[in-house]
Structure 1
Amino acid sequence: MRFELSQKFFFDAAHTLRREIEAEPSRRIHGHTYQVEVGIVGTKNEATGMVFDLGFLRRDIAVLRDELDHRMLDEVIGLGTPTLENICLYISQRLQSSASLQYVKVWRESIGDSCTLRLS
């Protein structure tokens, strides 16, 4: 049997963005609350009863969250242009050593945007 585990967290951050539509407000510094869900899929280890100890994932998320929370995303090294797609990719790269991630989903509840990166 395969199980899917997930962990959710959020961070608040500011950024700018160059785009063709809604160009002027996007170029100004503005912020969002970003919601994130990361998912792991695997089989249960009979000795531990777990696919993965989520305590390790929460520990690594705390470090990652500190890199993003109340930051100017334009200045986060390795993120690139602060799009939803690049935020998903950045999170997956930062967490890949802690677990076998299957997906990363990032969304902004207030405006309804979301992006999911499927890793398998």
Structure 2
Amino acid sequence: MRFEVSQEFYFDAAHTLERKIEAVGSRRVHGHTYHARAVVFGSPDPATGMVVDLGQLRQCLQAVREQLDHHLLDEVPGLGAPTMENLCLFIARKLHETDFPVHAVEVWRQAGGDRCRLELSTEDRLAGL
């Protein structure tokens, strides 16, 4: 028996982006409201009945949120180009640093309908992402 447990958060942030389409607007500093979800798969611990303690997951995600919320993403150490792909990877790496067994991370901008999902294989998790 395998369960999926997830926790969502949001953050507001600004960024610039070099790209070929919509280039002028993307190069200017602009902002979005981002939503993110971290997903953990597993079987419940027999002692606790939980796959993960959601309180601990929320605490870890709050620490990640503080690094992104109301920041210029171009300046966030370890993020790289402020793409949704890199945001997914950044969040997954931060959770991995706290030994959270994250299996997927999703980032989306609801207003624009944009969404990105990173699914981590066992090899990804063992290799440290």
Residues 4-43 of structure 1 aligned to structure 2 (within 5 Å) = 4-43=4-43
Secondary structure, aligned partner of 2:103? strand
**Fraction of identical pairs, as percent:** 55
Q: Give distance in 1, aligned partners of 2:94 and 2:46.
A: 28
- Match of residue 111 from structure 2: 110
1:98: how far off?
Answer: 4.0
Amino acid at match of 1:119: L
- Match of residue 51 from structure 1: 51
CA deviation map 1:80-107 (0-9, x unaligned)? 0000000000000001134211100000
Query: Segments of 4+ in structure 1 off by > 6 A?
Result: none
- Match of residue 120 from structure 2: 119
1:13: how far off?
Answer: 0.0
Secondary structure, aligned partner of 1:61? helix
Residues 87-106 of structure 1 aligned to structure 2 (within 5 Å) = 87-96=87-96, 97-106=98-107
- Match of residue 76 from structure 1: 76
Secondary structure, aligned partner of 1:67? helix
**TM-score normalised by L of structure 2:** 0.91
Secondary structure, aligned partner of 1:88? helix
Consecutive unaligned residues of structure 1, counting only runs of 5 or more, are: none
**Higher percent of residues as strand:** 1
The count of residues paired between Structure 1 and Structure 2 equals: 120
Amino acid at match of 1:110: A
Consecutive unaligned residues of structure 2, counting only runs of 5 or more, are: 122-129
1:60: how far off?
Answer: 0.8
**TM-score normalised by L of structure 1:** 0.98
Secondary structure, aligned partner of 1:50? coil
User: For the aligned residues, what is the CA RMSD?
Assistant: 0.7
CA deviation map 1:11-68 (0-9, x unaligned)? 0000000000000000000000000011000011111011111111111111110100
Q: Give distance in 2, aligned partners of 1:92 and 1:9.
A: 14
Secondary structure, aligned partner of 2:19? coil
Amino acid at match of 1:56: Q
